[in-house]
Structure 1
Amino acid sequence: MSSKIYFGKNKRFSFRRSALNVGSRLHHRIAPNHALKTARRIFLTPAKGKENNPTPSGMVIEALGTAEGKMMTYKLGCGPTWVLTHGWSGSANQFFPLMEYIAEAGYTALAYDHPGHGRSEGKEGSIPAFLSALDGILNQQEQVEGVIAHSMGGATLLESEHQALKGKPIILVAPVLKYWENLFGTVEASGYSMKLFHAVVADVGKRYNTTIESIDPFEKLGQRQSPVTIVHDRGDRFAPFSVSEQATEFTHVSLVATEGLGHGRVLKSDPLKQAFAQIIGQS
């Protein structure tokens, strides 16, 4: 499913949405098991993003085993490790230009594809699945220097309580900090049966022994003790910039605002590189 179902903003009435509402509710009533299976495919299957960035020379590509299956990892450089985690319908390929910059600064850049994304195993994705994979990757690192997370990857990162992250600096790029509020509003506006959507959420929660109420990236951001830098474009159409502005009420959070870069191009931007350079003391 494309990012539009999770991060769309169109709430105007349309016949198509009205028909979707009637059809999905009827499907759930007549064939509940099949309807749930269909809904899982709709909401938990990411779209395959284009991999436009060439693979840097010297990159080591390796599959690491996790509870979610084998996750494909991409490592460049040497020295202390910075972990990079992408968002919904993204892949590690989005980080390749930034990874070259990190490697040139004397660090190891380690990115990976989330479950159901890129070249990793799995057919479904969700925050609990992302979190399980992230912790599985962190378990296999000797030492983590910091983390850079994009979009839904940032929401996932903030949920992690892994020991390797304690006291480590974090850069959140175009984060979705009020994830569930945005998601539920968008799904409701799409016209899809909310009862059926809630059934999918409950099904995922049951598998991972969690509840949606416990997942709150904005609250978890406030509880962090380490410094957090947010790099976010004012015109981002998918993740509200205003929420990142609100996050600066936390004393450990700083915000770098960009213009004209949107939700994805910011990953290749100079402001993001400069934020990283400032953290490692090379600015």
Structure 2
Amino acid sequence: MTPQHDTIPGPAPRIEAFADRLLRVRRPPVDTLTKGETEISLLVTAPGSWPDGAEIRVNLRRRGDGPNVLLVHGWEGAPSDFTVISDKLVAAGFSLWSPDLPGHGRSDGERLSIPLAARVLHAVAAEAGSFALALGHSIGGACLVHALAGGLAVERVVLLATPTRYGSFVRFASAQAGLKGLAVEALMELLHDLIGEHPDWIDMRRQAAAMQKPALFVHSTDDRIVSFTAAKEVASIWRGAQWMAVNGLGHGRLLGDADVVARVIAFACTG
């Protein structure tokens, strides 16, 4: 009798559907342009076996004159999420570059991954040049750090309510959906194929250990979407990083909080 060995099954319909659910975006309303803002269209090559096609057209918005600042919105977010910070940065003499990530705003596609977003940020840099400052909110911060690990030229970094471990998120979501054991491993391998990297490798703890750029982390203690503790751990690994803990601002309200905005602008203007 031939011994039986456990093997990871091929993608079953349920696993394929769940992978698509993890990547698919419910497109938010399209932002209106701010006075003085212009748009540029970029073509970005997608990593992996991306279901929206090998190339994605991305909309990029530019505003202001001066040293370059990159703004990276979160999942189902928009550049307008940074309005309060953006206005202050323009007034301080910076030029803002804000992509609509794939599946958002005026960009094409229906899905988003961290490796794809990192490709977008490199394409923005090819258009804009290096950045004096880059800000990322929520998963936009994870996308930004992924791009930094790939060589994106940025002098200073601000990470607001940023998730840190994509693999852990996928495993938690899988458990919530009732997937376990070999089904979870099959999901991870399918995502590896789709997005071009294994989810467990997208881990900010590993990336932060190699970072030396000045960084400011901001996180609210009552954030119910992204772990405060996990973000604080990454800040402790990132050499010389500043940590700003706030209270009562949840996941998104910190973007308009006067104290947070003042700290971000002061950090931007340092050096």
TM-score range, shorter chain: 0.7 to 0.9
Task: Give 1:149 deviation, angstroms.
Answer: 0.5
Q: Which has the higher helix share?
A: 1
Partner of 2:255 in structure 1?
267
| Among candidates 192, 205, 214, match of residue 227 of structure 1 | 214
1:38 aligns with 2:25: no
Distance 1:254 1:32, change over 3 A: closer
CA contact (8 A) 2:191 2:199 kept: no
Q: Runs of 5+ in structure 2 lacking a partner?
A: 1-8, 47-55
CA contact (8 A) 2:139 2:163 kept: yes
Aligned to 1:73, the other structure's residue is in SS state strand
Q: Runs of 5+ in structure 1 lacking a partner?
A: 1-28
CA distance in 2, matches of 1:220, 1:211: 15
Task: Give 1:182 deviation, angstroms.
Answer: 3.3
Aligned amino acid, residue 63 of structure 1: S
Task: Give 1:102 deviation, angstroms.
Answer: 0.9
CA contact (8 A) 1:48 1:117 kept: yes
Task: Give 1:257 deviation, angstroms.
Answer: 1.4
Q: Give the aligned CA root-mean-square deviation in angstroms.
A: 2.6
CA contact (8 A) 2:68 2:132 kept: yes
| Among candidates 16, 21, 41, match of residue 63 of structure 1 | 41
| Among candidates 89, 98, 101, match of residue 114 of structure 1 | 101
1:48 aligns with 2:27: yes
CA distance in 1, matches of 2:150, 2:176: 35
CA distance in 2, matches of 1:76, 1:138: 15
Aligned amino acid, residue 265 of structure 2: A
Structure 2 matches for 1:76-225, cutoff 5 A?
A: 76-160=63-147, 161-165=149-153, 168-192=155-179, 195-196=182-183, 198-225=185-212
Distance 1:63 1:32, change over 3 A: same
Aligned to 1:129, the other structure's residue is in SS state helix
Q: Encode CA deviations 1:152-190: one digit per residue, 9 max, x unaligned.
A: 111122122344425x11000001023322331233123
Task: Give 1:219 deviation, angstroms.
Answer: 1.9
